[in-house]
Structure 1
């Protein structure tokens, strides 16, 4: 998930010293470091699609309980969005990035005691801590990448950095399948017949497979924090001096297109997380794949998501953003219908297609929601960041529906279908700028 924190009219540029030295070689190493953050938080989200089926098995959960993994991560985005912005304003980008890395690392290391005790609540707390760290990192790195150089190339820099986020979306599930998923599965009847000591040993072994990947991830994050501490990052200062009275935090929603964008973003993030959260399980149930193979297919889904971002960016040169968004929504609705009613490998093909056609939705909704907000852009951005909480709520709803349907995973995909219908309305009607704050 990439959070784009738009700056709007208030443009930030390098300090005079930085401008004199030029923005080429001077900014290359800082930009490489910032880009690495996009990859790291992409890996964290890439692991989530593997953790849900894995911890469901290791901690003996139902579908609804397993989706609390998403709830823990994305609830952190909602809670930390505003504090993260305050942290940047008070301590600057560099210190905020270091803080985000350390919080992220703390959450990763908490996986070790969680696995040792096989305590699901501790896993959830670890994921919430990771989510807090991700929020600080994303809120810091996106705008810093945008202003780390000439203003006319800011969009190019952000798209380049975001491509590494897409790369992680592909590699995360593959690495998670290799090092987290054991490939050992037993039916409920087999688990019931298993001796208590053997069952306890099996479940503890399953829980323990998460320790090495998250220990390595946490160690890398610590090293990155140390590197950022000793690395000189060019300081930035605002050059926009115009003072404009801004509306209150809630009154900015009187921009109807922003209100619809917040709703569309809520349902988009929810739909995306729903699709990936139950990808492995639907691949096992409907296509008859084992869990490791299903995990590798989730990696292919990530590749299609990354490819869709590049190809969609190309299409946006020739097609208006709201039109392309609407077309992609219609296709996504059709693919959801296929995922619900088809059987076999066709279900996996439909979900892979969803990865491709969902890829441009987040940034497109974000940018459409901020049109014409001017100095209110910062407040609008906060609302759009907080709407990511859809990833905490809708997967839980989907898991509840699946449990009500007696573990019919395909039936649960009605939830993302409804989400795409709402996003389609935004693309056709809701994006239009109809009013302003007087």
Structure 2
């Protein structure tokens, strides 16, 4: 196989057509960023409504990101059969069904049903990730793929910046009652309160379901450039699913996505509870959502800056620099208190900005007909968002939230290594 030959691209499409298609597809990035970040608001809300400890509350992220691991291979098969456009349409429809399921989950006042609805929602987003990320990477010259995907991810960050404000107004509008306050209430009154707390998510998620279905119809009607998923059959070759892992930059890229998503989701998941602690921010949970929004706004701004920087700076080196800065910020927030700890942890968002799209594009570089399989494997690695936050939840229950930030710091150290050394493309397989 010639590693230098790219998969099917949009080179034969007019540049204006590609630009318009990029604008349309980036709306998908906005929606899944919004839905994913809304989990950061859902966690403290359901933690209070169902009286959960940190470990049980992190089952929200475990379920959501666990879907990436379980459903990435089926998603890759769907994209291979339907192509990128209709893969996106199906993904939006499935995500809409998942959002709609929040209504019966709240009516039943069942944490397990909430988790089931999240799994369906995440299945749709998994399909969107498998289809949209490589589609954007292929929608133009290979040399600018990292810059293009980073720009698209900036719209993802816009969604994550808006979601905390939206969730804070509609889901965390009232400060939750403490365990002591609930125990002092009559049993029947406490049950009614908990039911009302759960039901406050119904309207927001029903609106989101409607928007997802509408977006699916728009994408279905829009004439996107016909870039088919690259397949072995078209190239007269047959590669096993895990064959891309024989290449070192792919194997280490999968690990990089695992650790990056795990670290990013862990930090976002704990922000509201962390910032509301008396010795850190001493603020209400609703006030903390403003800082969560600032965290994700930083990621959006950083992606616009990073998109321009990567046209001039080697993506791997920039990735390593940003990872080193994040490790430093985590050490500061772990060893200080008050607003110093607040600002240092919020600033991490700015430097998270380029990491996912950069690791992704470095991980699928020069793979030819194996690009689609490598994409599925990289999306599977998003399961780090299920595993690392759960592990951090157990740490937080035992040593406190502030010291538990040691775990994401270790994750960023691996990303630093990947940017400097692990992302180098070689013709020699990593495993034989």
Could you tell me the TM-score, scaled by structure 1's length?
0.89
* In structure 2, distance between residues paired with 1:205 and 1:183: 11
Q: Does 1:12 align with 2:9?
A: yes
8 Å Cα contact 1:13/1:238 also seen in 2? no
1:285-300 aligned at under 5 Å gives the runs: 285=277, 286-300=280-294
Match of 1:416 in 2: 408
Question: Over aligned residue pairs, what C-alpha RMSD do you find?
Answer: 2.7
Say if 1:262 and 1:369, in contact at 8 Å, map to a contact too: yes
Unmatched segments (≥5 aa) in structure 2: none
Greater alpha carbon shift after TM alignment, 418-427 vs 298-307: 418-427
Alignment match of 1:334 (pick from 307, 328, 331): 328
Question: Measured at CA, do residues 316 and 430 of structure 1 come closer, stay the same or move farther in structure 2, by a change above 3 Å?
Answer: same
**Pairs within 5 Å for 1:225-236:** 225-236=216-227
Partner residue of 2:240?
Answer: 248
2: CA distance, partners of 1:171 / 1:404: 32
Q: Does 1:141 align with 2:135?
A: no
Residue number in structure 2 paired with 1:220: 211
- What is residue 310 of structure 1 aligned with on the other side? 304
Query: What are the ranges of 5 or more consecutive residues in structure 1 without an aligned counterpart?
Result: 1-6
Q: Quick one: distance in 1 between partners of 2:143 and 2:328?
A: 38
Which residue is 1:92 aligned to?
83
- Alpha-carbon contact 1:14-1:234 (below 8 Å) kept: no
* Partner-residue secondary structure (3-state), 2:175: coil
Q: Is residue 73 of structure 1 aligned with residue 73 of structure 2?
A: no
Secondary structure, in 3 states, of the residue corresponding to 1:10? coil
Question: Deviation at 1:28?
Answer: 6.2
1:351 is displaced (CA, Å) by: 1.3
Q: Comparing 159-168 with 313-322, which one deviates more in the overlay? A: 313-322
Per the alignment, do residues 124 and 400 of structure 1 end up closer, same or farther by CA in structure 2, a change over 3 Å counting?
same
Q: Distance in 1 between matches of 2:56 and 2:5?
A: 40
Query: 1:111 Cα deviation (Å)?
Result: 0.5
Shift of 1:434: 5.3
Distance of 1:127 and 1:239 partners within structure 2:
30
Q: Alignment partner of 2:10: what SS?
A: strand
Corresponding residue of 2:110: 119
Corresponding residue SS for 1:236: coil
Instruction: Decide whether the 8 Å contact of 1:142 with 1:158 is kept in 2.
Output: yes
Distance 1:14 1:78, change over 3 A: same
User: What residue in structure 2 maps to residue 185 of structure 1?
Assistant: 176
Residues 259-311 of structure 1, C-alpha deviations (whole Å, 9 max, x = no match): 22221221111000000000000000121110111011100111111111122
Question: 3-state DSSP class of the match of 1:11?
Answer: coil
Alignment of 1:153-232 (within 5 A): 158-232=149-223
Q: CA deviation at 1:93?
A: 3.0
In structure 2, the CA distance between the partners of 1:268 and 1:148, relative to structure 1 (3 Å rule), is closer
8 A Cα contact 1:11 1:239, kept in partner? yes
Once the two structures are TM-superposed, the CA of residue 373 in structure 1 deviates from its matched residue by 3.5
Change over 3 Å in CA distance of 1:180–1:382 after alignment to 2 = same
Is the CA contact 2:9–2:139 (under 8 Å) kept in the aligned structure 1? no
* Residue 368 of structure 2 is aligned to residue 377 of structure 1: no
Partner secondary structure for residue 166 of structure 2: helix
**What CA distance in whole angstroms lies between the structure 2 residues aligned with 1:323 and 1:232?**
37
Q: Give the TM-score, by structure 2 length.
A: 0.90
Question: Which stretch shifts more, 146-155 or 286-295?
Answer: 146-155
* Correspondence for 2:55 among 64, 68, 80: 64
Partner residue of 2:381? 387
Q: CA deviation at 1:104?
A: 0.5
1:247 deviates by: 4.7
Q: What's the offset of the Cα at 1:86?
A: 1.4
Contact 2:333 2:342 in 1 (8 A): yes
Query: How many angstroms does 1:401 deviate by?
Result: 1.1
Residue of structure 1 in register with 2:273 after alignment: 281
